[in-house]
Structures are given as structure tokens and as C-alpha cells.
Chains A and B, each alone.
Chain A
């Protein structure tokens, strides 16, 4: 990927030259004022001036609709406050530009952009300006706004604030407890006065009580819930250890003798909360984005009334039977039928077909597809959740919910761990009961505290979080750690063909016909833009003078025609040429198809004059990588929307059995294939690799979905992993290797923490543990685990 011409960040797929509209606008302004000299040399080399930011030019009238305002804004006391999700927000320049909104639109009081979420908080004065005016200004800057669903984001933010409060309080208490403990230890060596000792002990009892009752309550509640639901998880032994340490200490303070463990309790609460917060935050970031919904279907429709011109209404206001107009380049807002006009439609979202399909009156059209070439009028039949894309979105939601209760290893162990620790504690109490009840109780309490699986509770999340961080620097965005755990063990790998196994672009693989026809076709395609144009242009050698071309017409999905040097030339699919009375020789067509190539026929003056064979070449080394993966135990399958014969040929070249290579699959077929694979997987993970938007449902249905194309925000809604920095099979091989190393790191961390706990339990059972040893052992075990987790070489940063 190229670097942004202004700020140097990577340019996301789908954009050119600049990472975002902010950079584009700033760069255009610098250029206009002659200030660009200081910027990158790349700017001076680029010959074309950058185009202005792309605005959708809509009126955004729906932003003044009361029902929409109620959903995304507060308006009271002559003050409005709304949260808007902005498309295309990328870097600091975007934030600068968006926050200049009050200068651009008088009446807007402030605009604050949260870069990570892409959400701007706009405050405005409803008496002076409408929200739609602010929305139009944002759109003109190149950030089409969408209403952000307020409730969920606010809940999440409130939750995050509560967690921060807990950590801060727990940290402050732990620090003070340690200070007091230091005085107690020093005192016990240098014979402290009993009055001071008792005062320190009571103070730390108070602080520990505060720590358990406020920030530590989450563990007690979690343990209690686990007990009540009879579903043990890591909270149960943690709660047990914390309570034992506190109650044992409290009892000893009360009777004025014996040991206290309050600082260990305080430190435990703080460390556990911190580990948990880091892990949650990672997950939240990935969930936070709102992009998929906007990627799937438009938010507004142009409703046609009996009276007057079309007006924009929110999609939610559409009813069956309404007539709406769909402009060229706009998305279809609902499922329905075309009643007037015809246009080429991009159906990629539903069929995976990248070429436009011509649809006319009477044809069914679906929400989420895009009309490319002209305006049509359609009658609405189904809206919202009942549309095909709505069902796919529901499928995504259901599939991700289905898979959510992933039982972590630590949780599975928690039940056994608790039972074992309780049994040992009982045994210890029984063993020491000969020396009196007080000693027996003391020993059992100390044991329960040091057995508290602090490191166990932190080891898995921290090791996974660290690996996710390293993976992100490599360009692999991982939504949840459990996905890495699953990728570490071999399972079934369903691969997309185009772009993953292959280079993802067509190249000329063969030509049969006259050299003159080749030159004419190359000249024609030089004027056309289509999936095959670049490949066909190479029919003529570079630098050769091409004849002049006039009267070019692109027939979407079929081919191109035009006058080249006075001769009528057609280039396109054999079916298209046959329909124009210039059929290609069947034997040559068959030969191309048998080799898995896409034939493009060329006709000159109404007669077929040549046949080009285009193919999407396999990535170099693909066959070896496929073999290596299989040697590791992965079962590889191809699941592609491409033509079955093309897929079959690719499978043969890679050595994948024909029954595991499936072509011509629609998104629904892919979901079914993933579900069938899961049913037959017998506990192995089913990993789906596909396009983040088009294959969303299949990605969500798989145990682990890996998105390789599409924007990261949209992809991560459905997929667990998004590969941004690298592409294709090599990146997947690297991801799997990194996941394997991550699992190794997790296992090492678990092993170490168990070893610590085992040693501590043994010492406590023998009556050798002292509070000072407990206080030293607990943080050291945690720190070792943290160091192990962060030092592990899981993903290496990008070489570039």
C-alpha cells in the first residue's frame, strides 16, 4: 500500500494518494497557497493535482427529522448535542478539520472528534442553525456523517469509566497498605511498641475492607454468581483467596495476635483489575465501530410522492408500496422491484459478482446493492430487517452471539482448582489442629490466600493481549484473544481464491489471432475501464503508437465496443460477441476454460478475429505454502464465488482434492458450507478466510473469521481477524505461526503461575508461609507472568 501524500500514513484500500479527506483538503490548500515545498517530495512528483474531497452532495434533511433527532441527539434549553459517526476519519488532520466546524457553520458551538472511534460530538444552537446544515458541511469536507446510536456507546463508556475508577481506588489503597505493611515488618524486626502495632493493624484492616468492599466487590460478586450458577470460573478461587486473606487477618487483628495479609489482598485486587481492564479495552475497541451497517445499506431514500419532486426520508420511514428513486451511484435502500428505468447494478454484496449486472423494469433489486449507471424508480416491497441484507446482518449478529461463550482454559480449570485448594486447606487445618484451633485456622487461611490464582487469572488474558498488540503492529487486527487460541491448533481452513491464493488481478495468459486484431483490441481497451482492461492493454507492446479510438461504449458486464482507426472493434465475453453475430471458435473457448482461464473474444468489422485468455495467476510459492500448512495438520478447502471450472483448475495446481474446492458459491452458500464444515469438524476449529463485507455472514458463522479485503472497521464486525498490513496466503501462514507461538506463551505463563501457586500452597501447608513471604511471593509471581507475557516473541513487526 502507498503512503499518504500528506501525513505518510498508509492509504486504506479504496482511496488514492491520501489516507483521508482531511489530508486531501489540507494538501490541496497548501498547494493552492504555494506552501507544499516543505512537504514530501512525493507531492512534487505527482503530476495531477489532487481532486477535491469527495462529497455525497446529499441534503441530509433526515437529520432534522424528530425521530432521528430523538435517537442520536439531546435538544434541550436551546442547546443541541449530537453524536455523529463520520466516514473516512483517519488521522490528526481529520480531527483538525472537523473541529473547525464552528468557523464554517455559524451556530455550531463546538465539534469534538474522537479519532479512535470516528465519532464527532457536535453541539449546536437549534435557534440559529439546523443539524442538517452541520451535516452538509461535514459531508462537503469529505466526512459523510451518520447518526451514531447513542445508547450503546454511552453504556460502554460509562462501563469503562467505572472500571477506571475501580483501578484508581484499588491502586491508591494498595499503595497505602504497602506503606503501612513496611512499618509493620520493620517493627517486627526492631520490636515495635504494641500500641503502634495495633494501630497500624487496625488501619490496614480498614483500608483492606475498603478495597474489598469497593473495587474488589466485582470479584466477590463474580465468585458468588459462579457458585450460584454452578458454573465455576476464575472469579471463584480469586474471591475465595481474597476473602480468606481478609477474614483471617481481621480475626487476628481482633484477637491481637497472629499474622495479617492485608497488603497482599490490596495488591491482588489492584493487579487483577488492571489485567482485566487491559483485556476488555482491547475487545471494546474492535466492537466499537459502526461501519458495517453503513457499508451494507444507505440510511436515506428519495421518496416520490404524487406531488412534486423526490424528498429524502430516513430508510426507517419507508413502507411497502412506496415508490423511491435511486440515483446513479446511489445505494438501493430497500428490497423491491424496478418500475421505471434500467441501470447496471453492482450486486457484489449479495452475489460476489464483481461485474455490474443490467436490470430493467420488473426486475427485483435488493437493499445493499448499488445502481451504477443511471436513475431508476423502484417500488418498495420489504424494508429494514426483512430485506435480504437485513437477514444477512441478523445472521452475522446471531452467528457472533452463538460463538460468544468461549470457555477460557483458566475458567475450565477454576472448578478443579477450587476443589483441590479447599481439600488441601481442610487437610492442613486438620493436620495442625493438634496445636489448637487458632493455629489450624491461621494456617488454612494463609493457604487459601496464597493459593489465590492471581497469576492464573491474569496469565491468559495478558499473554493474549500482548500478542494482540504485537499482531496489530504487524498489521493483523485481532478482535478477541480466543481467536488466536483457536488458530494455534490445526483445523479446517476455508480459503477464498481471488486475492488469497492468487494475485487478485487478471493478466494476459494467451492470445490466438492476428497481430493486427491484438493491436486494435489493445487500443480499444486503453480507453475502457473494466476488470479486464489492464490485462488486454498488454496485447500491444508498451511504447507502440496505438490507432485513434472514437465512439467507445462500455456495456457493463459484457464488453466494450468502439471505432478504432475507422474499424468497428468489439471486445468482450464470447456470449456477448455471439449475440452480435461474431461467435468465437468453440474449440478454442473450450481449451481456455479447461485451463481455468477466462476467455475474451475480439471481433473486427463483425467477425471474430482473436481470442485472449486471461488468468489470475497463483501467488508465487502458493503451492509450497499449501503443502506446509497441510503438513502441520490443516485441512485446506477452497470456497469461492468464482466460476467452478476456474476454481477446480486452481485447486488442481495447488494439490487440493477436487471435492474440497467449491466455486460459484453465493454468500448464503458460503454460510451453509461453513456450517456443514463445523458440523463435521469434530471439535477442530473451522477458519474462514474471505472478504470482510461480502462474506460477512460466513466469516461470523465460522469459529474464526479472517477478513482479507474491505475496510478494517466493517470487517471486524463479523470477522475475528483482519489482515491489513499484508495480503494473501503468506499473511495467513504468518498469522497461524504467530497464533501458535502465542498459545505457547500462554501455556508457559500458565505453567509458571501454577508452579508458583503450587510452591506457595506447599509452603503454607507446612506452616512455613509468613505474611512477608506471601506479600513478596504474590507480586513476584504476577510480575513474572507479566514479563513472560510481554517478552514472548509472538508476532514480529513488519519488515517494512
Chain B
């Protein structure tokens, strides 16, 4: 029965990981420009510059 004392902190820790991932995404500017990337993925392109790796948006987590 006292499993809950272990599970709840684990659940909070998992949530904390998601929050940290979100913080990284927000602070590194993933959400700065929400307009251009959605066009950018449509360009057929061989020349993927180093910057293009940043394109994938990190999904937001609240849990």
C-alpha cells in the first residue's frame, strides 16, 4: 500500500524531466519563430545546413 510514497515522487520526477526538456526548448529559441519553419519543411533540399537540425519543434509538456 505504501507504494504510493515511491510512485508519486517518480511521477513528479518524470514530469520534471518533461519540464526541463521544455525549458531547454523555450530558452534555446525553438518557439521564437512559429511561422517560417512550417514553410521550411516543404523545401526539397539537398543542402541541409548545420542550422537546419534545429527545426524539429519539441512538443510541449505539462504533465
Contact = CB atoms under 8 A, between A and B. Distances in A.
Interface string A104-140: 0000011011111100000100000000000000000
B51 A110 contact: yes
A103 B43 CA distance: 15
18 contacts: A109-B50, A110-B49, A110-B50, A110-B51, A112-B36, A113-B36, A115-B36, A161-B29, A165-B22, A165-B23, A169-B23, A172-B62, A175-B63, A176-B11, A176-B63, A196-B4, A199-B5, A203-B12
A112 B23 contact: no
A168 B19 contact: yes
Contacts of A114: 32-33, 35-36
B62 A165 contact: no
Interface string B21-63: 0110011010111011001101100010111000000001111
A95 interface: yes
Contacts of A116: 33, 35-36
Interface residues of B, number: 31
A98 to B, nearest CB: 10
Contacts of A207: 12
B26 A161 contact: yes
Interface in A203-223: 203, 207
A161 B27 CA distance: 6
A248 interface: no
A387 B44 CA distance: 49
A113 B47 CA distance: 16
A174 B63 CA distance: 9
Task: Name the 7 nearest CB pairs between A and B, nearest first.
Answer: A92-B39, A171-B62, A164-B26, A168-B22, A114-B33, A115-B36, A175-B62
Interface residues of A, number: 35
B8 A203 contact: yes
Given A161-B26, A164-B26, A164-B31, A95 B12 contact: no
B15 A172 contact: yes
Contacts of A180: 8
A485 to B, nearest CB: 28
B33 A165 contact: no
A635 interface: no
A194 to B, nearest CB: 13
A217 to B, nearest CB: 16
B3 to A, nearest CB: 11
A642 interface: no
A160 interface: yes
A103 B47 contact: yes
B54 to A, nearest CB: 9
A96 interface: yes
Residue among B5, B22, B29, B62 facing the most chain A CB atoms (10 A cut-off): B62
Interface in A153-194: 157, 160-161, 164-165, 168-169, 171-172, 174-176, 179-180, 193
